[in-house]
Structure 1
Amino acid sequence: MCLEHEEEKVNMYCVTDEQLICSLCKLVGRHRDHQVAALGDRFDKLKHALDSNLNSLIKRTTELESIMGKLIQTCQHVEVNASRQENKLLEECDVLINIVQQRRQIIATKIKEGKSVRMRKLAQQIASCKQCIERSSSLISLADQTLKETDHARFLLTAKSTCERVSMATASSQILLPEMNLNDTFDSFALDFTREKKMLESLDYLTAPNPPVIREELCTASFDTITVHWTTDDEFSVVSYELQYAIFTSQSNVVSLCNSADSWMIVPNIKQNHYTVHGLQCGIKYIFVLKAINQAGTRSSEPGKLKTNSQPFKLDAKSAHKKLRVSHDNLTVERDETSSKKSHSQDKFSTHSSYGVTGNVFIDSGRHYWEALIGGSTWFAVGIAYKSAPKHEWVGKNSASWVLSRCNNSWVVRHNCKEMPIEPSPHMRRIGVLLDYDSGSLSFYDAVGSQHLYTFDVSLLSRCAPCSTCGTGV
């Protein structure tokens, strides 16, 4: 123990120097302060970790309690439903037993009635036969006695009368004997309950059908219809199907869609395993859910995502400049050579050097793809333009249009007079245009060589249409 620092203690051996002891006490004090600080940090960290782990444990325990509560509630439901089904089974079996007993009584009565009718007829026939036999037996005895008579006089006296009686009896027996059906032995019916036995042996409780499976690889689509195909393992137990569909926006929205009945369009009472939905938007992805229904309940399929095709379009001849000629099928446009010609050596952005035409559809959503066959044209532009874009201005020169353009050997993409040179294949003859309206992108491709040429980032604010300008033919 240090005399000057009574609170400081240190275990030492062979200590002789008080100054050394004092220095050691100071060192121990600083070490203790450092240890206290370290312990404080460890305390704070451990307390924070313990508090965090405790909160996690409490949260997990709460979740487990909730799950256990649901499990207990499910057990109660199972108990109640099983008892209800057992009572229902007894009721249904009692009904079947009553029906069998009633049918047994009815059929037994029919058997008794059939037996009684046949036995009555047979008894009458036996009585008639017995009477005839008795009369015939007495006449046979009389005839035998007459034949034994040796006195000719008495024989002649009785033989004639006896012969007439025997003759009359023979004739009358043919008339009096009833018609007999010896084949009707009551064996011409059968008690065959084989089918009913099989039906009874197959009795079982009915369960809700297994979930159907939407076969996306078999489904087909047009620009405004989707035909949904599905399969199920319980085809014969399904009474009907119900198809639900809604516009698919994102994967996170699927859960909210499934929990909201108001978001779905519903097609009930479908009997076949396919259905065509009409009146859809073009180029839009939809989510489909199918329900299989019978008397026991309903099971739903996994959601299936299907998309309509982009809407086909043609050129709108009414939108074409008067110096352009649109073909009768509205698929081709070219410069009207009968009009006045101007040299292509003029300013390539001149409003007089090329003229425009738009498609006959306007796009306000979805993804759309189309191609332009440029043939031998060396002076053209293809792309999109707002409905409000200037009709007789070179597309791409204004803020309302985006195009890929060729002017002789110069290839550029242009928007609002700003252009970016590109280098496609010198032999490119078909241009692919992909517009994703919702995500805001417009891409151009070499449709034959599958080469990506350029992509505009566009924020479309209103309806737009495919557009084209040309100096020769496109």
Structure 2
Amino acid sequence: PLHRRESNENEPEGLTFYHMDLYESKERLEIFPDALAGKGDAALGKTSEESTELGEEFPSSDQDGYNLEKEVDELTKLYGLDEDKEIENELLGGNIATAGILESKKTPADKEAQDELHNPASSSEELKSCGRKDEQSIQPNSEEEAADIYCATCKIPIRAFDKLFGNHKDHEVTQLANAVKSAKEEIHKNMCKLEEQIAQMENFAGHLEEIFITVEENFGRQEQNFEMHYNEVMQTLAQRYEEAAEALGEGKKQKLETLYGQLVSCGESLDTCKELMETTQELCKDKEKADFIKAAVAMIDRLGEYFKKDLDLELSTQPDFEDSVIDFSAIQQLMDAINTIPAPSAPVINPQAPNSATGTSVRVCWGLFSDDTVEFYQLYYKQVSDDTPSEEQAAPSPPIVKRKESRSCENAALVCWESGNMNPVDSYTVELSKLTNEENGDIITESIVGIPNCEALIQLQPGQSYLISVRAVNVGGPSERSEPVSVHTTGTYFYLNEDTAHPLLSVLEDGLTIACSEIENPECDLPFHDNSFTRCIAILGSMIPFQGKHYWEVEVDENMEYRVGVAFENTHRHGYLGANSSSWCMRHIVTPARHKYEFLHSGTTPDIRITIPPKRIGILLDYHNWKLSFFNLDIAQHLYTFNTHFQHYVHPCFALEKPGFLRIRNGIAMPTSLTLL
């Protein structure tokens, strides 16, 4: 209800309006300071008893020490509005005698209500109607007026006027700047969570891709295992092999489908997370405070719903395959009649270590790099006479070292020779001469004795040059030294095996450049050798029989079509390099649209695009880590890596598919720039 009082001579003219909500419950007055709230309680009690009487007098702003201007000042300071003179004037209304009504914004209905209140003849109904109009006229328009505080209950910006006299009197409010700061802090925390989840999902996606590769590798190993067990078995075992291979393929298919589904799900979550990040970043750009806080509240709710979802970062399947157990009981007799285990390869005698021999004993070590099954070794030895020639038997003639069959790497050399005479030979002695001081001509010579075969794998020091010669020994004494062969341990050295070359392929005088002058039908009217390639215009290098890392380079023309890589000794001569399971290679062909690069093994290649054609290709063979890597040396770019278990030593291999030249560089160390890739 509205109340009216008659004006006195000592009081200012005009009518003072008090908002109707000030005469309601005690809780509505809690927005005022404590001192003011006390006065409000007294006034509230009086009002509740005498509110039905019109004409009742209320104390003026000067009575009982009540000061409306001071009260408004305290309220503006309380809500952080003390610097906003416009809002202060609005609250003061340009006249201390009016509480919260701007004279300039009064509607005609307000002025009519005021005139009627000054007229004693006004009826009570008119006053009530005027009060309702006045209440409607003083309600602020939040859309037209600028917001200056933030309602935490409704989560929207409002005007201070709404907190004092509107629908937000009982709500919790704060300064708009504080609300913006709090929202930004909340968004920043959510952005940090998003960044963390993006990193986790990217790492998990990378891990899933690695698992894909691991599944392929494990499948390849299992397939090779099946082939090794079944290839030499008669037709009776063929059906068993097909069943086992099919079951393994189904297992592979199931694992890949499961992993692919999880990878797709992870990708969708990653896209959603990135979209939220982009939207959040766009939201944080400079905007109007009111627009920002509205969008921020909606974004925070959306982020909260997103973070309620649990991330599935556990593998849905394992990359390993269960070893299949083959039941040979039904064909045991057939298996016993077949020699399924080949004879092992010959062991390689290691160099004699210093102080390994005494007057009555000698310590002998050897190695075997293969998957041969060995039950035991037999050691043979024979006493060698002194250097005095025997009258009964002549000493042998010097051996002949096979230069092109000798190979070396950074820490070892394989030297091969032949006897070269008719005299019997009991063993061979290899002599090493190393130049330690070039200025003074100091040479250290070492000997390795008791070598039974015509080859020796010798451990050497890296970065050195050696002269190696061989003596043949029998009961008649040692022979003269062979012609020495020069060995350098600056890198991996190998030669090209011309007996494996396709007839259209020629090796130039330097021994490391291949050329093809014309391309004819590779299979017609050409003088093929028993060990040469017949379809692929290719050649093999000598085998690399050393553990560790080996590096060489190939110089090519960007318009040349070629294949480079490695292959086993028994790779198919009637097929193409990379088309079978015994060769790995990088292939380049020129199409009308682009340069096409493939990394072939068993006829398959990954989907890889290379935009800059390499002119120098680096090839790194790592037996220890089961890797074969290719690099573009012009820009120090890693192109591709095969991850495979080499069960045997491999040969470098090279092929041309169009007329051209291809030059090989070996015996060099791997560039330091590639170690960082």
- Does TM-score exceed 0.5, indicating one fold? no
Instruction: Provide TM-score, normalisation by structure 2.
Output: 0.24
Greater helix content: 1
Instruction: Name the one with the larger strand percent.
Output: 1
Structure of higher CA gyration radius: 1
Could you state the TM-score of these two structures normalised by the residue count of structure 1?
0.34
